[in-house]
Chain A
Amino acid sequence: MAKFSAPASAPREVLLVEDSPGDVRLTQEAFLAANRAVRLHVVADGVEAMAFLNRSGEHAGAPRPDLILLDLNLPRMDGREVLRRIKRDAALKAIPTVILTTSEAETDVSGSYQLQANCYLGKPVHLEAFEELVESINDFWLTMATLPQQH
């Protein structure tokens, strides 16, 4: 069904907020394999994530992401604070924000949902499981879900 798949030409802007270079590389490679239309933008800490989202400084020309993948443990400003700021900002709160973290702490899981994270995913340690998860994120969020239209 054409309805379930975006046209190959329509780029999907995904913002990955991740400080581990290894995880960044795995995510980039997995998206490259899953969906050529994805343009993955990477920022390494929470301060840079907010600058990207607010298009400030060197991020003045940044696109509005269709989806945000947010790690929780980050330098300078952690993912919990980034999530709080996104979901309190009328201009940003509609952007689906998926937590992708190694934290299994219940306070992080329930705290993220209380702050209106769209969903919470544990980051797998094994390569194959990681690739499968990125594929699932792509299948569900970028092909099945209907994302907000406003840009």
Chain B
Amino acid sequence: MPIEVLLVEDNPGDARLTREAFRAANSDVHVSVAADGVEAMTFLRQEGAFSRAPRPALILLDLNLPRMSGREVLASIKQDENLKAIPTVVLSSSDAAVDIDMAHALQVSCYITKPTLSDDLDRVVDRINDFWLRHVRFPATAVN
């Protein structure tokens, strides 16, 4: 049974590095990528081309995204009774206090500042995997 992770990331290079880092860290993880906020919400609501999309156990969300920002995606997830229980981790290059405080006010699960070097991204993914996928308990709906 794969562990479904939804990565919302518009930079193809970062998406690829993150996917590869998960592959190295945990072969049970299956990463789906949404390249903007509209696509992320369509995926989560299983609409249109994503009618068969899995419900993710964990969402990794960039903040600066085309069409619909990560902030709007986070607000939409947390206003949706069917989605609000999915742990949502912001993974953003922004270390601005306004972004960090906004995300926490919107009930982000946690906020991680994305490192600029790819080696460090590997390390971040390792730590996310170690903590979230080895220690944390998820609601049963997450594995359905």
Residues of A within 8 A of B (CB): 1, 3-4, 87, 90, 93-96, 104, 106, 109-110, 113-114, 116, 118-122, 133, 136, 139-141, 144-150
- A1-B115, A139-B127 known; A148 and B101 CB under 8 Å? yes
Q: Is B66 an interface residue (CB 8 A)?
A: no
Residues of B within 8 A of A (CB): 78, 84-87, 95, 97, 100-101, 104-105, 107, 109-113, 115, 120, 123-124, 127, 130-132, 134-141
* Min C-beta distance of A28 to chain B, whole Å: 20
- How far is B95's CA from A102's CA once the two chains are assembled, in angstroms? 35
Q: Is B110 in contact with A3, judged by CB distance below 8 angstroms?
A: no
Q: Is B136 in contact with A145, judged by CB distance below 8 angstroms?
A: no
- A144-B124, A144-B127, A145-B111 known; A110 and B140 CB under 8 Å? yes
The 9 closest A-B pairs by CB, nearest first: A94-B104, A110-B139, A113-B85, A140-B131, A148-B104, A149-B97, A145-B110, A116-B107, A146-B111
- A87-B107, A139-B131 known; A149 and B101 CB under 8 Å? yes
What chain A residues lie within 8 Å of B138 (beta carbons)? 109, 113, 120
